[in-house]
Amino acid sequence: METDSPFGYDGSVMVKRNPNLAALKAGYLFPEIARRRREFAASHPEDPARPETRIISLGVGNTTEPLLPHITAGLAEGARKLGTVEGYSGYQDEGLPELRAKIAEVFYSPARCAPSGGSFSIDEVFISDGAKCDIGRLQLLFGAGARAAVQDPSYPVYVDGSVLIGAAGPWAETGYGGITYLPCTAENGYFPDLSPLPENSLLYFCSPNNPTGAAVSREQLTELVGAARKKGCLIVFDAAYAEYIRDPALPKTIFEIPGSRECAMEINSFSKPAGFTGVRLGWTVVPGELRYAGGERVNADWARIAGTIFNGASNIAQAGGLAALSGRGLAEIRELCSFYLGNAALIRSSLEKLGVPCTGGDNSPYIWARFPGRDSWEVFGEILEKCRVVTTPGSGFGPSGQSFIRFSAFGGRAGVEEACRRLERLV
């Protein structure tokens, strides 16, 4: 086609868009919430002289409190070292060996993991820049042919990652074709009936759960592993909130369960326990025992993916991670989680006083509040209008999230207290 372009022809790019991108429904949940918040703020401007006009966010699960001193010092020292001949370091695809060893020691001790086979070697622990990023990358292990099952509701990245890699069918009203949604409802205590779990599928399972706040018991997790092994499924276990567990009877990793190493990998993160949402550090455990249907080792492929399209987490973040796993660092993690759990207790009791049925908030920073018969986005809008509080509509996490609202306990204490007072306007 001749035009007046400097090239004497049209010059348009004729490379096609990945059809999986078109299949990805609407925006990712949190940008959509941010958009609605901006719209509301534009029509209801905040007035610094009137604190009651301030919009308070109990929406995104983004940490808000400063890092504690020992961990901060570890990060700063990690940075300072890079300016020295002895301390400088470059690429480290799979992570600092010391950090891999420390994670294995602290979170997967031989005693804790005895039921599944004892300790882990550092070759089974891979350092990442966070759980979300690893969930994106792990799609490459299974590709477009995978069949995924998720808790419903669940963290949107499992499904969105599956859509991007082409492992989901088209969207139809409340969910994607080809994805099995396992309802977690008030009726089943937020632990799903596993009978619809398809054979040979990839099962994403998060506990303590985002968004319901429910933490699986040892019996439930044993049932889950049993069902997975019976059906030839591979579990991607997301333990990003494990450090919020306060009930000593609850398992903190799937590797406390017999038979788990042969059917599960575990994703975890420093984001929520250590406040590293901006620092970016996480890990994934891929047991040497874990194999695909064809017998190939998943662990070897994960190392290969790390080397091929990833270059490792920041060495400064890793230095901070090492500090976080020292005795003092672990005490700081406990202190930080306890602070957010304090927020969670306030939010939950405020809601319960209003007669709103809730789960979560005890072993999790999320409270899952039920508004029977109501539409999630409508309740979201009402809370925003009446209370100037941003929440997350439950339907954004899956069809069974309809009529629920997720409250996040990540916030300063004064803001959370003020939000709790304002919630009384909902009556």
Window 125-154: residues binding a second copy (CB under 8 A): 129-130, 132-133, 135-137, 140-146
Scanning the structure block, which residue is given the tokens 């629920």?
Answer: 404
Helix (H, G, I), strand (E, B) or coil at 395: helix
Residue list 315-344, contact with a second copy (CB under 8 A): 315-317, 320
- From the CB of residue 163, how many other CB atoms can be counted at a distance below 10 Å? 25
# residues near a second copy by CB under 8 A: 107
Binding-site member from 36, 55, 65, 349 for a second copy (CB under 8 A): 65
CB of 397 to a second copy, least distance (A): 15
Rounded Cα–Cα distance for residues 34 and 275 (Å): 21
Structure tokens that stand for 214 in this block:
């429910």
CB-based burial label for 248 (10 Å; 0-12, 13-18, 19+)? exposed
Stretch that binds a second copy, among 64-72, 105-113, 187-195, 210-218 (CB under 8 A): 64-72
Q: Is 122 in the site for a second copy (CB under 8 A)?
A: no
Residue list 258-317, contact with a second copy (CB under 8 A): 258-259, 262-263, 275, 277-280, 290-294, 296, 301, 304-305, 307-317
Residue list 173-232, contact with a second copy (CB under 8 A): 199-202, 226, 229-232
CB of 125 to a second copy, least distance (A): 18
Helix (H, G, I), strand (E, B) or coil at 121: coil
Helix (H, G, I), strand (E, B) or coil at 290: coil
CB of 233 to a second copy, least distance (A): 7
Stretch that binds a second copy, among 18-26, 36-44, 46-54, 360-368 (CB under 8 A): 18-26
Q: Is 69 in the site for a second copy (CB under 8 A)?
A: yes
Q: Residue 412 contacts by C-beta under 8 Å, 6 or more apart in sequence?
A: 64, 65
Closer residue to a second copy, CB minimum distance, 279 or 387? 279
Helix (H) or strand (E) holding 107: helix 97-107
Helix (H, G, I), strand (E, B) or coil at 113: coil
Closer residue to a second copy, CB minimum distance, 263 or 416? 263
Q: Is 168 in the site for a second copy (CB under 8 A)?
A: no
Task: To the nearest 10°, report the CA torsion of 389, 269, 155, 293.
Answer: 180
Closer residue to a second copy, CB minimum distance, 165 or 358? 165
- From the CB of residue 286, how many other CB atoms can be counted at a distance below 10 Å? 25
Residue list 70-109, contact with a second copy (CB under 8 A): 72, 75-76, 78-80, 82-85, 87-92
Q: Is 413 within 8 Å of 371 (Cβ atoms)?
A: no
CB of 34 to a second copy, least distance (A): 10
CB of 267 to a second copy, least distance (A): 13
CB of 153 to a second copy, least distance (A): 17
CA angle centred on 54, ends 53 and 55, rounded to 5°: 115
